[in-house]
Amino acid sequence: MDFTKTEGWLDWYANPSKPRFKLPAGAVDAHCHVFGPGAQFPYAPERKYTPCDAGKEALFALRDHLGFARNVVVQATCHGADNSALVDALAHSAGTARGVATVRRSVTDNELQSMHEAGVRGVRFNFVKRLVDFTPKDELVEIAGRIAELGWHVVIYFEAQDLPELWDFFTVLPSDVVVDHMGRPDVAKPVDGPEFALFMKFMREHPNVWTKVSCPERLSVTGPPARDGERDAYRDVVPFSQRMVETFPDRVLWGTDWPHPNLKNHMPDDGLLVDFIPHIATTPELQRKLLVDNPMRLYWPEEA
Protein backbone atom coordinates (compact mmCIF):
# COMPACT_ATOMS: atom_id res chain seq x y z
CA MET A 1 0.00 0.00 0.00
CA ASP A 2 1.29 3.50 -0.83
CA PHE A 3 1.16 6.25 1.77
CA THR A 4 1.68 9.96 1.33
CA LYS A 5 3.58 11.55 4.17
CA THR A 6 1.92 14.32 6.12
CA GLU A 7 2.72 17.67 4.52
CA GLY A 8 5.89 19.19 5.91
CA TRP A 9 6.99 15.89 7.45
CA LEU A 10 10.68 15.88 8.39
CA ASP A 11 12.56 12.63 7.75
CA TRP A 12 15.19 11.48 10.22
CA TYR A 13 18.74 12.85 10.06
CA ALA A 14 20.50 10.81 7.39
CA ASN A 15 24.13 10.95 8.54
CA PRO A 16 24.23 11.47 12.30
CA SER A 17 27.59 12.48 13.72
CA LYS A 18 29.61 10.17 15.92
CA PRO A 19 28.99 11.26 19.52
CA ARG A 20 31.95 12.54 21.49
CA PHE A 21 30.44 11.11 24.66
CA LYS A 22 31.26 7.42 24.95
CA LEU A 23 28.21 5.57 26.20
CA PRO A 24 28.80 3.08 29.03
CA ALA A 25 28.90 -0.60 28.02
CA GLY A 26 25.41 -2.04 27.77
CA ALA A 27 23.64 1.32 27.30
CA VAL A 28 19.93 1.17 26.41
CA ASP A 29 18.08 3.57 24.10
CA ALA A 30 14.84 3.35 26.09
CA HIS A 31 12.56 5.35 23.80
CA CYS A 32 12.51 4.91 20.05
CA HIS A 33 10.02 3.84 17.40
CA VAL A 34 9.69 1.98 14.12
CA PHE A 35 7.40 3.26 11.35
CA GLY A 36 6.32 0.57 8.92
CA PRO A 37 7.54 0.22 6.29
CA GLY A 38 3.98 1.01 5.31
CA ALA A 39 3.96 -1.48 2.43
CA GLN A 40 4.60 -4.30 4.90
CA PHE A 41 3.00 -2.89 8.06
CA PRO A 42 0.24 -0.49 6.98
CA TYR A 43 -0.35 2.64 9.03
CA ALA A 44 -3.55 2.66 11.09
CA PRO A 45 -6.69 4.17 9.53
CA GLU A 46 -7.28 6.26 12.68
CA ARG A 47 -3.74 7.76 12.66
CA LYS A 48 -3.27 11.51 13.04
CA TYR A 49 -0.16 11.67 10.85
CA THR A 50 1.50 9.61 8.13
CA PRO A 51 5.26 9.41 8.71
CA CYS A 52 8.18 8.46 6.50
CA ASP A 53 9.01 4.78 6.68
CA ALA A 54 11.57 4.10 9.41
CA GLY A 55 12.13 0.39 9.70
CA LYS A 56 14.01 -1.84 12.08
CA GLU A 57 17.18 -2.08 9.94
CA ALA A 58 17.70 1.69 10.13
CA LEU A 59 16.98 1.66 13.88
CA PHE A 60 19.51 -1.09 14.54
CA ALA A 61 22.13 0.65 12.35
CA LEU A 62 21.65 3.82 14.41
CA ARG A 63 21.97 1.83 17.65
CA ASP A 64 25.35 0.51 16.51
CA HIS A 65 26.54 3.86 15.16
CA LEU A 66 25.77 5.69 18.41
CA GLY A 67 27.14 2.92 20.64
CA PHE A 68 23.98 1.62 22.29
CA ALA A 69 23.64 -2.09 23.07
CA ARG A 70 19.84 -2.32 23.27
CA ASN A 71 16.59 -0.59 22.36
CA VAL A 72 13.17 -0.20 23.89
CA VAL A 73 10.80 0.25 20.97
CA VAL A 74 7.63 2.15 21.83
CA GLN A 75 4.51 1.70 19.71
CA ALA A 76 3.92 4.91 17.76
CA THR A 77 0.39 6.25 17.37
CA CYS A 78 0.56 6.01 13.56
CA HIS A 79 0.27 2.24 14.00
CA GLY A 80 -2.71 2.44 16.37
CA ALA A 81 -3.17 -0.84 18.28
CA ASP A 82 -1.63 -2.99 15.54
CA ASN A 83 1.70 -3.88 17.08
CA SER A 84 2.98 -6.00 14.14
CA ALA A 85 5.84 -3.68 13.12
CA LEU A 86 6.96 -3.42 16.75
CA VAL A 87 6.80 -7.18 17.33
CA ASP A 88 8.65 -7.81 14.05
CA ALA A 89 11.44 -5.47 15.17
CA LEU A 90 11.71 -7.30 18.50
CA ALA A 91 11.77 -10.66 16.71
CA HIS A 92 14.71 -9.52 14.55
CA SER A 93 16.71 -7.99 17.39
CA ALA A 94 18.36 -11.16 18.71
CA GLY A 95 17.11 -10.28 22.17
CA THR A 96 18.53 -6.76 22.13
CA ALA A 97 15.13 -5.01 21.94
CA ARG A 98 12.09 -4.99 24.17
CA GLY A 99 8.83 -3.18 23.52
CA VAL A 100 5.94 -1.09 24.77
CA ALA A 101 2.68 -1.82 22.94
CA THR A 102 -0.69 -0.16 22.51
CA VAL A 103 -3.70 -2.38 23.18
CA ARG A 104 -7.45 -2.03 23.37
CA ARG A 105 -9.85 -3.67 25.77
CA SER A 106 -10.56 -6.31 23.09
CA VAL A 107 -7.01 -7.73 23.26
CA THR A 108 -7.11 -11.41 24.24
CA ASP A 109 -5.03 -13.09 26.94
CA ASN A 110 -3.36 -15.16 24.22
CA GLU A 111 -2.39 -12.03 22.32
CA LEU A 112 -0.92 -10.50 25.47
CA GLN A 113 0.97 -13.71 26.17
CA SER A 114 2.44 -13.87 22.67
CA MET A 115 3.47 -10.20 22.90
CA HIS A 116 5.14 -11.03 26.21
CA GLU A 117 7.06 -13.85 24.56
CA ALA A 118 8.13 -11.43 21.81
CA GLY A 119 9.58 -9.07 24.44
CA VAL A 120 6.79 -6.57 25.16
CA ARG A 121 6.96 -5.34 28.75
CA GLY A 122 4.55 -2.42 28.86
CA VAL A 123 1.59 -0.60 27.34
CA ARG A 124 1.40 3.07 26.46
CA PHE A 125 -1.53 5.30 27.39
CA ASN A 126 -1.44 8.50 25.36
CA PHE A 127 -3.23 11.67 26.48
CA VAL A 128 -1.79 14.06 23.91
CA LYS A 129 -4.89 15.17 22.07
CA ARG A 130 -3.20 15.90 18.73
CA LEU A 131 -2.03 12.25 18.59
CA VAL A 132 -4.96 10.06 19.61
CA ASP A 133 -8.71 9.85 20.06
CA PHE A 134 -10.07 9.73 23.59
CA THR A 135 -10.16 6.34 25.36
CA PRO A 136 -12.48 6.04 28.38
CA LYS A 137 -10.68 5.72 31.72
CA ASP A 138 -12.54 2.54 32.68
CA GLU A 139 -11.06 0.83 29.60
CA LEU A 140 -7.56 1.96 30.56
CA VAL A 141 -8.02 0.82 34.17
CA GLU A 142 -9.15 -2.59 32.94
CA ILE A 143 -6.10 -2.88 30.64
CA ALA A 144 -3.77 -1.70 33.41
CA GLY A 145 -5.06 -4.43 35.73
CA ARG A 146 -4.57 -7.15 33.12
CA ILE A 147 -1.07 -6.16 32.08
CA ALA A 148 0.08 -5.73 35.70
CA GLU A 149 -0.48 -9.47 36.11
CA LEU A 150 2.15 -10.04 33.43
CA GLY A 151 4.61 -7.83 35.32
CA TRP A 152 4.32 -5.10 32.67
CA HIS A 153 4.20 -1.36 33.36
CA VAL A 154 2.30 1.59 31.89
CA VAL A 155 3.99 4.35 29.89
CA ILE A 156 2.03 7.61 29.95
CA TYR A 157 2.37 10.54 27.59
CA PHE A 158 0.73 13.84 28.49
CA GLU A 159 1.44 17.56 28.49
CA ALA A 160 2.29 19.48 31.66
CA GLN A 161 -0.93 21.49 31.78
CA ASP A 162 -2.98 18.26 31.89
CA LEU A 163 -1.28 16.71 34.93
CA PRO A 164 -3.70 18.16 37.55
CA GLU A 165 -6.69 16.67 35.77
CA LEU A 166 -5.01 13.28 35.19
CA TRP A 167 -3.35 12.98 38.62
CA ASP A 168 -6.06 10.87 40.32
CA PHE A 169 -6.20 8.44 37.41
CA PHE A 170 -2.42 8.04 37.27
CA THR A 171 -2.19 7.35 40.98
CA VAL A 172 -4.59 4.36 40.86
CA LEU A 173 -2.49 2.50 38.28
CA PRO A 174 -1.34 -0.75 39.92
CA SER A 175 2.05 -1.14 38.20
CA ASP A 176 5.16 0.92 37.64
CA VAL A 177 4.36 4.02 35.58
CA VAL A 178 6.84 5.66 33.20
CA VAL A 179 6.25 9.26 32.13
CA ASP A 180 7.41 10.19 28.65
CA HIS A 181 9.64 13.25 28.29
CA MET A 182 9.22 14.55 31.89
CA GLY A 183 5.55 15.27 31.26
CA ARG A 184 6.53 17.81 28.60
CA PRO A 185 7.42 20.85 30.72
CA ASP A 186 7.35 24.32 29.20
CA VAL A 187 11.08 25.04 29.54
CA ALA A 188 10.49 28.76 29.03
CA LYS A 189 9.06 28.68 32.56
CA PRO A 190 11.39 28.51 35.58
CA VAL A 191 12.58 25.09 36.71
CA ASP A 192 11.57 26.13 40.25
CA GLY A 193 8.13 27.32 39.13
CA PRO A 194 4.79 25.72 40.07
CA GLU A 195 4.36 23.66 36.89
CA PHE A 196 7.56 21.65 37.19
CA ALA A 197 7.19 21.56 40.99
CA LEU A 198 3.94 19.68 40.51
CA PHE A 199 5.68 17.08 38.38
CA MET A 200 8.47 16.78 40.97
CA LYS A 201 5.81 16.27 43.64
CA PHE A 202 4.15 13.59 41.50
CA MET A 203 7.46 11.72 41.28
CA ARG A 204 8.34 12.27 44.94
CA GLU A 205 4.99 11.05 46.31
CA HIS A 206 4.76 8.00 44.06
CA PRO A 207 7.80 5.73 44.16
CA ASN A 208 6.35 3.58 41.36
CA VAL A 209 6.66 6.51 38.90
CA TRP A 210 9.68 6.81 36.60
CA THR A 211 10.40 9.30 33.85
CA LYS A 212 12.28 9.54 30.58
CA VAL A 213 14.56 12.56 30.51
CA SER A 214 14.39 12.45 26.74
CA CYS A 215 13.43 14.76 23.90
CA PRO A 216 15.41 17.95 24.54
CA GLU A 217 14.92 18.65 20.82
CA ARG A 218 11.14 18.60 21.31
CA LEU A 219 11.10 20.68 24.50
CA SER A 220 13.79 23.22 23.67
CA VAL A 221 12.90 26.80 22.81
CA THR A 222 16.50 27.84 22.10
CA GLY A 223 16.86 24.86 19.74
CA PRO A 224 19.74 23.29 17.86
CA PRO A 225 23.24 24.74 17.45
CA ALA A 226 23.35 27.96 15.45
CA ARG A 227 25.91 26.60 13.00
CA ASP A 228 26.83 23.20 11.57
CA GLY A 229 29.65 21.62 13.50
CA GLU A 230 28.77 23.28 16.83
CA ARG A 231 27.63 20.90 19.53
CA ASP A 232 25.98 23.01 22.25
CA ALA A 233 22.34 22.22 21.52
CA TYR A 234 19.13 22.42 23.58
CA ARG A 235 20.81 23.89 26.68
CA ASP A 236 17.57 25.43 28.00
CA VAL A 237 16.33 21.89 28.76
CA VAL A 238 19.38 20.98 30.87
CA PRO A 239 18.13 22.39 34.23
CA PHE A 240 14.92 20.33 33.97
CA SER A 241 16.52 17.03 32.96
CA GLN A 242 19.43 17.44 35.34
CA ARG A 243 17.06 18.12 38.25
CA MET A 244 15.26 14.85 37.50
CA VAL A 245 18.44 12.81 37.15
CA GLU A 246 19.88 14.15 40.42
CA THR A 247 16.66 13.92 42.45
CA PHE A 248 15.48 10.53 41.18
CA PRO A 249 18.68 8.81 39.98
CA ASP A 250 17.11 5.33 40.17
CA ARG A 251 13.91 6.18 38.27
CA VAL A 252 15.11 7.93 35.12
CA LEU A 253 15.54 6.56 31.59
CA TRP A 254 16.91 8.06 28.39
CA GLY A 255 16.02 7.54 24.74
CA THR A 256 16.72 9.06 21.35
CA ASP A 257 13.04 9.20 20.26
CA TRP A 258 14.29 8.25 16.78
CA PRO A 259 12.83 8.77 14.13
CA HIS A 260 11.46 11.85 15.90
CA PRO A 261 7.80 12.07 14.83
CA ASN A 262 6.08 15.39 14.26
CA LEU A 263 9.02 17.74 14.55
CA LYS A 264 8.21 20.91 12.68
CA ASN A 265 11.31 23.08 12.66
CA HIS A 266 14.38 20.91 12.60
CA MET A 267 15.48 17.30 12.75
CA PRO A 268 18.11 16.58 15.39
CA ASP A 269 21.46 14.98 14.71
CA ASP A 270 21.21 11.89 16.92
CA GLY A 271 24.94 12.12 17.67
CA LEU A 272 24.32 15.55 19.21
CA LEU A 273 21.50 14.14 21.30
CA VAL A 274 23.91 11.60 22.81
CA ASP A 275 26.33 14.43 23.56
CA PHE A 276 23.53 16.07 25.58
CA ILE A 277 23.67 13.21 28.13
CA PRO A 278 26.79 14.23 30.11
CA HIS A 279 25.25 17.68 30.65
CA ILE A 280 22.28 16.16 32.50
CA ALA A 281 23.97 13.13 34.09
CA THR A 282 27.24 14.61 35.14
CA THR A 283 29.03 11.70 36.80
CA PRO A 284 29.87 8.18 35.58
CA GLU A 285 27.64 6.77 38.32
CA LEU A 286 24.60 8.82 37.26
CA GLN A 287 25.29 7.94 33.64
CA ARG A 288 25.44 4.23 34.42
CA LYS A 289 22.14 4.35 36.32
CA LEU A 290 20.39 6.35 33.59
CA LEU A 291 21.65 4.34 30.64
CA VAL A 292 22.23 0.83 31.97
CA ASP A 293 21.04 -0.07 35.49
CA ASN A 294 17.59 1.54 35.38
CA PRO A 295 16.46 0.36 31.93
CA MET A 296 17.84 -3.11 32.63
CA ARG A 297 15.85 -3.30 35.89
CA LEU A 298 12.64 -2.34 34.07
CA TYR A 299 13.02 -4.19 30.76
CA TRP A 300 15.50 -7.05 31.37
CA PRO A 301 15.03 -7.70 35.12
CA GLU A 302 16.17 -11.30 34.69
CA GLU A 303 19.63 -9.97 33.71
CA ALA A 304 19.85 -6.90 35.93
The site map against ligand 0GY for 25-44 (x = CB under 6 A) is: --------x-----------
Q: Is 257 tagged catalytic?
A: yes
Binders of ligand 0GY among residues 74 to 113 (CB under 6 A) are 76-78
Is 131 a residue that touches ligand 0GY (CB under 6 A)?
A: yes
Nearer to ligand 0GY, 6 or 282 (CB): 6
Tell me the window of 53-61, 91-99, 139-147, 254-262 that interacts with ligand 0GY (CB under 6 A).
254-262
Supply the minimum distance, in Å, between the C-beta of residue 156 and ligand 0GY. 11
Stretch that binds ligand 0GY, among 18-26, 72-80, 143-151, 274-282 (CB under 6 A): 72-80
Minimum CB separation of residue 128 from ligand 0GY in Å reads 6
Question: Segment near ligand 0GY (CB under 6 A), from 36-44, 234-242, 255-263, 274-282?
Answer: 255-263
Query: What separation, in Å, do the N-terminal and C-terminal C-alpha atoms of the chain show?
Result: 42
CB of 261 to ligand 0GY, least distance (A): 4
Q: Judged by CB under 6 A, how many residues of this single chain contact ligand 0GY?
A: 9
Q: Which of 257, 269, 270, 275 is catalytic?
A: 257
